[in-house]
Amino acid sequence: MGTQQAGENFLKLIQDNKGIIVRICNSYCAKKNDREDLAQEITIQLWKAGDHYDPNQKFSTWMYRVALNVAISFYRKTKTAISPMPLDEGCHELEDKSEAADETDGNINLLQRFINELGELDRALMILFLEEKTYAEMAEILGISETNVATKISRTKKKIKQKFSELNK
Amino acid sequence: MIMEDDDLKNIWHEYDRRIEEAKLLNLQSWALNFRWFQDSRIQKARSKLGAAVRFKLFAVLLGVVWIFFLGVLVYGNQLKNLYFTISLGMIILFNVIAIVVYIKHIILIRKIDYSESITDTQKRLANLQLSTFWISRILWLQMPFYCTWFWNSSLIDFSSLRFWLITFPITLFFILLTIYLYRNINIRNIDKWWVKRLMMSGPEYKSLVEAKKFVAEIDEFKKDLLLNKEFQNM
């Protein structure tokens, strides 16, 4: 038992929260291969950081911190190493899978595009907001104060809403 | 249409549902497989994990060989020529400093804890990248000593014109250039063309520029609260 059992338990925890990895990978990588690479990198870093995990802490908050840190680093590395990726590649892929090209599809693509247009840190903040994290959790994950989170969130939301309304004019 | 917070969240949840349906990223196959995970860890450790670490390890290895070679020369000279010994000694010293800094970087890279807050971790990573500047400054300091290792008492005492009109002015020029470079190769001057030329062009330079921008972005991200307070006090 021992290490293997502990390892499997830990991976079970990751599996239970795999949605976090999927959503973050989709927000930071446009290409499928990159998303898979990033997902593997996140899992490995989660494992490596596992020693620092305090069980009294909420697992998802801890996982967001690791996953977003790895995603931002990965994004910065690929951004400087290769030419910028098309912003909506992931959305097209998503669109291909679903047949109905209704208003929701359009809104999903637009939201994803607007999120992709944000800076790395604002993007992390917006993901956490959409994931319905509390201000306290967002502050803990990002390492800024709650007041700062509130200010930034309201500014970023305003920017995104504005883009939506400009397109709908 | 005017978007509300709930509308944005609904779109996000719908997107989430579609991702799940479309299985854009299928974690099922590997995320629960412990054996895959262990294999992948080893593979990653060999390949991707250490692009930066590998480069620094290579630099350390090269530095050690160079220092060893210079050390053998100094030992062989047996203090017969003081200019030679001092020049090579100083070159060895600056290379040792650079090696120590590289080793420190390797340790820091390996110690990066991704479970710390995003702003702290990212700033540490970006600063680590920027510290390349510091090593470059240190290494430039050895330049004048490459002009003095062949000096000797007879060259200075007896050869008049050749030493004072050629050797000495060239050395003086490199000393002044080194002082100038040491004072001016820093993050503030990263955008100047000559820093770009001297440091490195290409992807590594680009990543340094990006790192500088990112550190400023992180500071701005954290600073907002202060601005807010100022705003509130107005």
pLDDT tens-place string over residues B18-43: 777 665 545 555 554 555 555 655 55
What pLDDT shows up at residue B199?
A: 66
Asked if A44 and A140 touch (Cβ cutoff 8 Å), the reply is no
Structural tokens at position A146: 């709650």
Whether B32 and A11 lie within 8 Å, measured CB to CB: yes
CB contact (8 A) between residue A80 and residue B2: no
Question: Chain A to chain B, count of Cβ pairs less than 8 Å apart?
Answer: 175
Question: Is residue A78 domain-shared with residue A9, that is, in the same domain?
Answer: yes
B173 located within any domain: yes
Cα separation, B68 vs A154, in Å, equals: 60
Do A22 and A55 lie in one domain? The reply is yes
pLDDT exceeds 50 at position B47 = no
Taking the CA atoms of residue B197, residue B202, residue A117 and residue A63 in that order, the dihedral angle to the nearest 10 degrees is: -110
Residues A116 and A169 in one domain: yes
Question: Is the Cβ of B42 closer than 8 Å to some Cβ of chain A?
Answer: no
Overall number of domains in chain B:
1
Per the domain annotation, does B188 fall within a domain? yes
Domain that holds residue A124: 94-169
Residue at A139 is within a domain: yes
Let me know whether A1 and A77 are in one domain: yes
> Are A65 and B14 an interchain contact pair (Cβ–Cβ within 8 Å)?
no
Q: Tell if the CB–CB gap between A111 and B221 is shorter than 8 Å.
A: no
Q: A122 and A159 share a domain?
A: yes
Query: Does residue A116 contact residue A123 with C-beta atoms inside 8 Å?
Result: yes
pLDDT, residue B33, reads 53
- B9 occurs within a structural domain: no
The answer to the question of residue B210 being in a domain is yes
Q: Which two tokens stand for residue A110?
A: 């637009």
Residue A67 or B31, more confident: A67
A88 assigned to some structural domain: no
- Cβ-defined contact of B19 to A164 (cutoff 8 Å): no
Domain range spanning residue B182? 44-147+157-222
Last residue of a domain, one of A34, A54, A83: A83
pLDDT at position B134 over 70: yes
Residues of A in contact with B18 (CB under 8 A): 94, 97-98, 108
CA atoms lying within 13 Å on the CB side of residue A30: 18
Decide if A160 and B41 are in contact by the 8 Å CB cutoff: no
Comparing alpha-carbon positions, the chain B residue that sits nearest to A132 is: B9
Residues A69 and A102 in one domain: no
Q: Examine residue A89 and state whether it is found in any structural domain, yes or no.
A: no
pTM of model > 0.80: no
pLDDT of residue A101: 53
Residue A77 lies in a domain: yes
B11 part of a folded domain: no
- What pLDDT digit, counting tens, does each position of B67-106 carry? 999 999 999 988 889 999 999 999 999 999 999 999 998 8
- Flag whether A122 is in a domain: yes
> Domain tally for chain A?
2
CB proximity B113 to A under 8 Å: yes
B114 to chain A: which residues are within 8 Å by CB? 45, 48-49, 65-66, 69-70
With CB atoms and an 8 Å threshold, state whether B34 touches A94: no
Same domain, yes or no: A49 and A28: yes
User: Quick one: A44 and A114 in the same domain?
Assistant: no
CB B218 within 8 A of CB B126: yes
Domain containing A154 — which CATH number?
1.10.10
* Contact between A22 and B24 using a beta-carbon 8 Å cutoff: yes
- Does residue B174 sit within a domain? yes
**Co-location of A78 and A11 in the same domain:** yes
B48 contacts in chain A (CB < 8 Å)? 41
Cβ within 8 Å, pair A43-B9: no
Q: Which of A39, A122, A124 sits opposite B27 (nearest CB)?
A: A39
* pLDDT tens digits for range B171-212: 999 999 999 998 888 888 887 888 777 765 555 667 777 888
Residue B231 has pLDDT above 70, yes or no: no
C-alpha B119/C-alpha B216 separation (Å) is 11
Nearest CA in chain A to B210: A80
Q: For position A96, what pLDDT does the model report?
A: 45
Boundary of a domain, candidates A34, A57, A83 = A83
**Residues A124 and A46 reside in one and the same domain:** no
Chain A interface includes B41 (CB < 8 A): yes
Looking at CA atoms only, how far is residue B139 from chain A in angstroms? 26
- Chain B residue with the nearest C-alpha to that of A145: B225
Query: A69 and A110: one domain?
Result: no
Task: Inform me whether the pLDDT recorded for A2 exceeds 50.
Answer: yes
Among A138-142, B1-5, B24-28, which stretch is predicted with the lowest mean pLDDT?
B24-28
In a domain, B228, yes or no: no
Distance CA B87, CA A137 (A): 57
Domain C-terminal end among A83, A110, A129: A83
Put simply, the answer to whether B31 touches A43 (Cβ < 8 Å) is yes
CB-CB: which of B34, B207, B224 is closest to A80? B207
Q: Could you give the C-alpha distances from B111 to A57, B20, B116, in angstroms and in order?
A: 22, 35, 12
**Residue A35 and residue A108 share a domain:** no
The answer to whether position B142 is within a domain reads yes
